Amino acid sequence: MNEKDTPLHRGRRRICSHTITATLIADARACRFRCSDRVRKICPVFATSNQLLATVTLLVVPLMLVKRKINFWVALLPMLFMSVITIWALVALLKQNVTGDGHGLLVVATALLLALALGVAGMSVWSLRRIKEK
């Protein structure tokens, strides 16, 4: 008999394969995670990553407008605002995680996101200059 083919494993497999039971198990684990202290530390990093994604999305619109020779300031100003706010939040979060009781993985993730945010800012300036020169 295989180690994974014991009656106990078959019973667990049968219970976990039932959709309602599997959903309840997943919900219980998510609730346990939600009620833990880790969520309060992870949420700001997740939020700033979403802001960075919005900045990248907003970068595309001014580039298309510049290429079509349409007023691009309408889309560039929100992108600049989101970039400044995202970088500001990441710097504050990095300071908080480094000086406080921040977990090492959160410090690395925040530093990586800050590097990506600065890269997006540099790429946007470079792209706008390149398109305007053409």
Separation of alpha carbons 41 and 91, rounded Å = 15
Which pLDDT belongs to residue 70? Answer: 87
User: What residue numbers bound the domain in which 20 lies?
Assistant: 1-36
Residue with tokens 């960075």: 52
Both 54 and 105 in a single domain? Answer: yes
Separation of alpha carbons 14 and 24, rounded Å = 14
Both 57 and 9 in a single domain? Answer: no
Both 75 and 111 in a single domain? Answer: yes
Both 67 and 123 in a single domain? Answer: yes
Separation of alpha carbons 131 and 126, rounded Å = 9
Both 109 and 64 in a single domain? Answer: yes
Residue 2: pLDDT above 60?
no
Separation of alpha carbons 49 and 112, rounded Å = 10
Read off the pLDDT band of 10 (50, 70, 90).
Answer: low
Q: How does pLDDT run across 42-79, given as a tens digit for each residue?
A: 888 888 889 888 888 888 888 888 888 888 888 888 88
Q: How does pLDDT run across 94-107, given as a tens digit for each residue?
A: 888 888 776 788 88
Separation of alpha carbons 31 and 38, rounded Å = 12
Separation of alpha carbons 26 and 20, rounded Å = 10
Both 72 and 101 in a single domain? Answer: yes
Which pLDDT belongs to residue 100? Answer: 76
Both 57 and 104 in a single domain? Answer: yes
Domain count, the chain: 2
